[in-house]
Structure 1
Amino acid sequence: MSDVLTAPVKIKIITTIIQPGTETEKFELWSEGKIMQKNDQIYLQYEEIQEDQRMNTTLRFGQEDAIIMRNGDVKMRMPFVLGQVRRGHYNSEYGQLPIVTKTKEMKFEPSETIQNGRFYLQYELIIGEQSVGDYCLELNYTEGNK
């Protein structure tokens, strides 16, 4: 018997961007995908379309760490560990850009079933030794259609 649970989910993602000298920006994305649980880690997989670019996104998270991986028109790897600085990268048609995340807050609120829960992440994004702002990611997922 496999130790991996899988189920379809509906995902609501709210991203808030706070950059120095500009107004706070807030984006909301709805998607459908699948959730998998392996040991104490959750894997959410879904497709994003931003400005005509398609990306398959995988978000892996638990209580103490997380990682966002994107493949498609944009390739990205952003790791997060609470209270720590982590290095990642962002690849686009213009080449690879090293990025750094400094995780300030992370909360994983699972429910009794795999198909429902909430994940919250607040981090500072650093590109080229300079902070480009604070980002908040709030992700809610609920049971999807089979």
Structure 2
Amino acid sequence: MASELKAPVKLKLKTTIRQSETEAETYELWSEGTIVQKRDQTYLQYEEVQEDKHIRSTLKFGNNEAVILRNGDVKMRMPFLLNHEQNGHYDSEFGALPIVTYTKDMLFEPHDSKTSGRFYLNYDLIIGGQSVGDYTLEINYSEGK
């Protein structure tokens, strides 16, 4: 399995949410994690802490599709396929909420070192048949310790 890579990385996640009639909101998160490359897929694994909730996140991506998986205090599966709608779910203490994503743009730019690069995603998040916002996710990752 010489084609596998597993290495520590530093991550900067930037999420921008645009909802009609409101100003865009931007959130940034810095984290440390692991990059794993198997076959044609890249996995970024990291932990988020939000309001005392610990969330283990995995972003699995290729060139035209991706999925964000969250486990721990928040459970979520959010798939993305360029120019298509995809069904996912968000589980909370109130139950499971079906969600739909429509991916408008996706870009994966690995750097030569393979342990650094950029992943960009722009999508509509649809809940109950209504768009709840235009989301942009940008992840920059570089070699960690």
What TM-score results when the alignment is normalised by the length of structure 2?
A: 0.97
Q: In the alignment, what sits opposite 1:9? A: 9
Q: How far apart in 1 are the matches of 2:138 and 2:17?
A: 12
Contact 1:7 1:114 in 2 (8 A): no
Q: CA deviation at 1:52?
A: 1.8
C-alpha separation in 2, matches of 1:111 and 1:63: 14
5+ residue gaps, structure 1, are none
- What is the match of residue 55 of structure 1? 55
- 1:26 equivalent to 2:20? Answer no
**2:39 aligned residue:** 39
How many Å apart are 1:41 and its aligned residue? 0.9
What per-residue deviation string (whole Å, max 9, x for no partner) do you get for residues 23-52 of structure 1? Answer: 110000000000000111110000011122
Cα offset, 1:3, TM superposition: 3.4
Match of 2:95 in 1: 95
**Whole-Å separation in 2 of the counterparts to 1:4 and 1:53:** 32
Aligned partner letter, 1:127: I
**Amino acid aligned to 1:79:** P
Give the Cα–Cα distance (whole angstroms) in 2 for the partners of residues 103 and 61 of structure 1.
13
Task: Calculate the TM-score normalised by the size of structure 1.
Answer: 0.97
2:135 corresponds in structure 1 to 135
Provide Cα deviations, 1:96-143, integer angstroms capped at 9, x if missing partner. 000000000000001112211000000000001110000000000000
Q: Which residue of 2 aligns with 1:65?
A: 65
Report SS of the residue matched to 2:113.
coil
2:118 aligned partner, one-letter code: R
Aligned residue-pair number:
145
The amino acid that maps onto 2:109 is E
1:42 aligned partner, one-letter code:
T
In 2, Cα distance between equivalents of 1:67 and 1:113: 23
Instruction: Supply the AA of the counterpart residue of 1:141.
Output: Y
Which residue number in structure 1 is paired with residue 144 of structure 2? 144
Per the alignment, residue 120 of structure 1 pairs with 120
**Where does structure 1 differ by over 3 angstroms across 4 or more consecutive aligned residues?**
none
Percent identity reads 63
Quote the offset at 1:2 in angstroms. Answer: 4.9
Task: State the SS of the aligned residue for 1:99.
Answer: strand
- Indicate the SS of the match to 2:115: coil
